[in-house]
Chain A
Amino acid sequence: MTGSPETVWRAALADGRVLLQRARATGNTFFPPRLAEPGTGNTDWEWVEANGLGTVYSITVVNQKPPAAPYNVVLVDLDEGPRLMSRVEGIPPEAATIGLRVRARIDVTGEAPVLVFDPA
């Protein structure tokens, strides 16, 4: 696979895998994908597969004009450390409370695969 780390990451997601980068020197895991470890500029890193588990760090519910349904936008702290924006599905939107344990799922129903979460 050629291209930037972001290109590799998106190809892996389409392949059903959620990747993270881990710097060999510091052991820090980071996301979104980039060329070097943030803060250090260290380019000696490796891909690791996320275990898929995380915890809701914060949540907002966006109200749309009816009949469009409200939806949540969450920040999830992955067990490996990185934080990302996502949504929690499978429960009422406001039920994705801070501290909720969640499990990643790759939603392939749209134009491009998207990383979403369900209650763990």
Chain B
Amino acid sequence: MAGTFPRARTAIAGAATFGIGVTPGFESLELAAQAGLLAIADAGLVLSDVDALFICLPDDFFAGLSLAQYYGISPRYTDCNRTGGSSFISHMTVAAMMLDAGYIDCALIAYGSNQRSGTGKLVSAFKPNPWETPYRPLIPLSPYALTAARHFHEFGTTRAQLAEVAVAARAWANTNPEAFAKGPLTIEDCLAARMVSSPLSVRDCCLVTDGAAALVMTRSNRARDLRQPPVAVLGSAAATWFSAISQAGDLTTTSAAESGPRAYAMAGVGPADIDTVQLYDAFTINTILFLEDLGFCAKGEGGAFVSGGRIAPGGALPVNTDGGGLSCVHPGMYGLFAIVEAARQLRGQAANQVPGAEVALAHANGGTLSSQATVILGGPATL
């Protein structure tokens, strides 16, 4: 049961990133605020047009109130939903419903984090789990490592196949001016990298950077008349199956296997219709899991699927065309950057443009594979 969704009746009218990489001298709120201003300008709107705020910050549970005050606006609706990096797709779901219902007219979705300059290490919003903490798992890494180990065991997935994901991400990043991590990276480099939580090495882990991103959403009929080509929101769905990895059930299937089919059903498309895929690759195993769970290959075949450069530049399926969390940007939550990259592809404005991209999928992960959310976007022709 997909649920009803206002297919293509709302659109991304503005999108922006700010401060990707190292941006000292900015608080997380300021980074998010700047990305928001850029997205509003990108849409050809002004701040006073915004009447709904959706925001997540690493260090402020009341970020919606903080941003409203910072901007000096009085939003009709404020949402600080937190499911981790997947939050932003749920923000889009709610914004689409509210826009279509006429409850709001212009939604700003924003995120910013000074994870690199502010602390130099990951800030976790996780409440420590008393049933896991005594065993000293590295959070968030070890839960993904446990998942990878099980995937290896059940399907014969290898470290070289994980490395294919990292190498593809780097290849995309190398031609993206915004990307933080550049330079040659080979399968051999990855296999020789320092092991952190087996079977995941440092090269299997996302970056720690600063960065901010923002989207402006309006009803499609308004977006058509604004500054940028409108990007239609065709379907958007989230799923939550657990919080702690020890409660995950079958580790090798994530709730992307639920969020994906629901989003496809809303959009009226399937995996074969998707021209480019943007996945939250916090760790290399994520890309393999999500390609399987979202139907791009069968369960267990993700390792083989990503091999031979299939998801790299020039491959059959362009995945994480900005370089992803592995090589472009990861300030703690990559989710909104995946959506921005999908929108840029559909506008024809991406740094690594996929020729003729008309339908894109963005997928985000939250917690330790706990929350999954999928959005299907369409180019101007789908409106």
Residues on A facing B (Cβ under 8 Å): 6, 32, 57-63, 71, 73, 75, 83-87, 94, 98, 110, 112, 114
Contact = CB atoms under 8 A, between A and B. Distances in A.
What are the 3 closest A-B residue pairs judged by CB atoms, nearest first? A60-B145, A85-B246, A58-B150
A39 B194 CA distance: 41
B136 A85 contact: no
Nearest to A114: B134
Interface string B173-211: 000000000000000000000111111100000000000
Contact of B251 (A58, A84, A87, A114): A58
A5 B372 CA distance: 30
B147 interface: yes
Contacts of A112: 134
B247 A58 contact: no
B146 interface: yes
B153 interface: yes
Given A32-B131, A59-B146, A62-B142, 19 more contacts: A58-B251, A60-B146, A60-B197, A60-B198, A60-B199, A60-B200, A61-B195, A62-B136, A62-B137, A62-B196, A63-B194, A63-B195, A63-B198, A73-B135, A73-B146, A75-B251, A83-B246, A87-B135, A98-B149
A63 B131 contact: no
What is the predominant secondary structure among interface residues of chain B facing chain A? mixed
Contacts, number: 67
Contacts of B142: 60, 62, 73
Contacts of A114: 134-135
Given A75-B245, A83-B246, A60 B135 contact: no
Contacts of A6: 130
B138 interface: yes
Contact of B196 (A58, A63, A86, A94): A63
Given A58-B147, A62-B197, A85 B132 contact: yes
B144 to A, nearest CB: 9
Scoring A60, A75, A98 by chain B CB atoms within 10 A of each residue's CB, the highest score goes to: A60
Given A62-B196, A85-B245, A98 B134 contact: no
A43 B138 CA distance: 34
B146 A71 contact: no
A58 B137 contact: no
A58 B149 contact: yes
B135 A86 contact: yes
Contacts of A58: 146-147, 149-150, 153, 251
What is the predominant secondary structure among interface residues of chain A facing chain B? strand
Contacts of B197: 60-63, 73
A62 B244 CA distance: 18
14 contacts: A6-B130, A57-B251, A60-B145, A61-B195, A62-B137, A63-B198, A73-B135, A73-B146, A73-B197, A83-B246, A83-B247, A84-B246, A98-B153, A114-B135
A62 B138 contact: yes
B149 A94 contact: no
Nearest to A32: B131
Contacts of B194: 63
B152 to A, nearest CB: 9
A101 B244 CA distance: 23
A91 B349 CA distance: 55
Scoring B130, B146, B147, B196 by chain A CB atoms within 10 A of each residue's CB, the highest score goes to: B146
Contacts of B132: 85
A60 B136 contact: no
Given A32-B131, A75-B245, A84-B131, A61 B198 contact: yes
Contacts of B134: 110, 112, 114
Contacts of A85: 131-132, 135, 137, 244-246
Contacts of B135: 73, 85-87, 114
A73 B136 CA distance: 7
A6 B135 CA distance: 18
Contacts of B149: 58-60, 98
Contacts of B198: 60-61, 63, 94
Scoring B147, B198, B199 by chain A CB atoms within 10 A of each residue's CB, the highest score goes to: B198
B38 to A, nearest CB: 40
Given A62-B142, A73-B142, A85-B246, A98 B137 contact: no
Interface string B121-134: 00000000011101
Nearest to B147: A58
Contacts of A62: 136-138, 142, 196-197
A57 B150 contact: yes
